[in-house]
Amino acid sequence: MRRDTKYRRLLFSLRSYVTFFLLIAFIITCCMLLFLTVLGGSLKLTYTEDDIRLAAILTMCNVIFLSLLCTVIDAVRRRFMVERPVRRIAEGASKLMKGDLSARIKPFHSIDSEAGFDTIIEYFNMMAEELSGVETLRTDFIANVSHELKTPLSVIQNYGTMLQAPNLSDEKRIEYGRAITEQSHRLADLITNILKLNRLENQQIYPSVKRYNLGEQLAECLLSFESTWEEKEIEIDTDIEEDIFVESDGELLSLVWNNLFSNALKFTEPCGKVSVLLKSEGNCAVVRVTDTGCGIPPEVGKHIFEKFYQGDTSHATQGNGLGLALVKRVIDIVSGDISVESEVGKGSTFVVKIEREKNE
């Protein structure tokens, strides 16, 4: 594309040179012909100073006339080829500044389009399209956040009201208090994840790269969920290759492992199985987290890393749909890759690939 643009500019320059050459040649030729015609019209062998002065004056008048004509032609050209595009671009920018994100500018495709106005218009329309998409995402984000915040707040409000009932048994009081605590934790996690995701998307978090043992980090993160898998009697199978080192941000990657382990244990039924595998493949360290949960349909898998997207609505109360969005953003920041392999009713496998230590 850049090469085509370069050739178009070259052709435009050659065309401009030829145009100005012909214009100047025409003016000079007219002036010379007028000068010679005036002198030759007297049919004299010798010319007096008055004859030469008259020819010069007429020639000068001709030059002034041709200059005026060129000025008028240039004014007309600027009117249609410069002022109109500038005015149209200004009107489009004004609409955009006033919040009309549907504003688009129609290209001119004029003879003088190589002057750059069509290019400016093309990029303006692309910018407007991008802003429109961002605004749609922002609106959806606010709507989803409002909904997610409203749900735990409603639960807390309801249980708080029930706690005020007279003659409430200690058993019910403890049950309601536990429900309020759980929803408070969920609300706190939601706000924390929103803040983290906002900082990640606004590039306010910069990777702190250091060398560390990836297998040890995986083991530490997995052990932090020991109470969860023991409570659900889930079998844990690990196959972690030793001495695999990476140069990355350990704190950011811990968000990835914690979210993947949390989801695997959350969606695995009691007495199920969760497997964690770490292997080296070429220049990459590959982590596979497999569960025997409900699985993910193909149409859901396409959106699984989007904010607030929850494929399994039966487990919607257990999460807020931000975990995998955080995971995807972190993996992008550390220049890694993540994918999901799943079969409905049999479980899912999340595969993360990260570049290993370069000097290994």
- Judge whether 216 lies within some domain: yes
Specify if 309 maps to a domain: yes
Structural domain contains residue 33: yes
Pairing mode, if any, of strands 235-240 and 273-281?
parallel
Residue 147 in any domain: the answer is yes
Residue 215 near residue 244 (C-beta atoms within 8 A):
yes
Does residue 232 sit in the same domain as residue 311?
A: yes
Instruction: For 139-165, write each residue's pLDDT tens digit.
Output: 666 666 676 677 778 888 888 888 888
243 and 280 inside one domain:
yes
Residues 218 and 287 in one domain: yes
Question: Domain containing 214 — which CATH number?
Answer: 3.30.565.10
Distance CA 167, CA 154 (A): 23
Query: Quick check: is 121 in a domain?
Result: no
Domain count of the chain? 3
Phi, psi of 350 (to 5 degrees): -100, 125
d(CA 308, CA 282): 35
Domain stops at, among 74, 100, 115 = 115
Shared domain check, 89 and 173: no
Q: What is the pLDDT along the chain (360 residues), one digit of tens a residue?
A: 445 555 655 555 566 666 666 777 777 777 666 666 665 655 555 556 666 677 667 767 777 777 777 777 777 777 777 777 788 888 888 888 888 878 888 887 655 544 577 788 888 888 888 777 767 666 666 666 676 677 778 888 888 888 888 888 888 888 888 888 888 887 887 777 677 666 666 655 566 788 899 999 999 989 888 888 898 999 999 999 988 999 888 877 888 898 899 889 988 999 999 999 999 988 899 999 999 988 887 776 666 776 555 544 444 444 445 678 778 888 888 889 999 888 888 889 999 999 987 654
Asked if residue 193 and residue 217 are part of one domain, the reply reads no
Q: What CATH number did the domain enclosing 151 receive?
A: 1.10.287.130
Structural domain span for residue 171: 143-201
Task: State pTM to two decimals.
Answer: 0.53
| Residue closest to 85 by CA, chosen among 66, 106, 100, 59 | 106
On the CB side of 301, CA atoms within 13 Å amount to 16
Using CA atoms, how far apart are residues 51 and 176, in angstroms rounded to an integer? 116
- Is residue 315 domain-shared with residue 350, that is, in the same domain? yes
Residues 242 and 302 in one domain: yes
| Shared domain check, 241 and 295 | yes
Q: What is the pLDDT of residues 118-134, one digit of tens each?
A: 788 888 888 888 777 76
Please, is 217 exposed, middle or buried when counting C-beta atoms within 10 Å of its C-beta (0-12, 13-18, 19+)? middle
In a domain, residue 221? The reply is yes
Q: Answer whether residue 39 is part of any domain.
A: yes
Shared domain for 110 and 170, answered yes or no, is no
Decide if 155 is inside a domain: yes
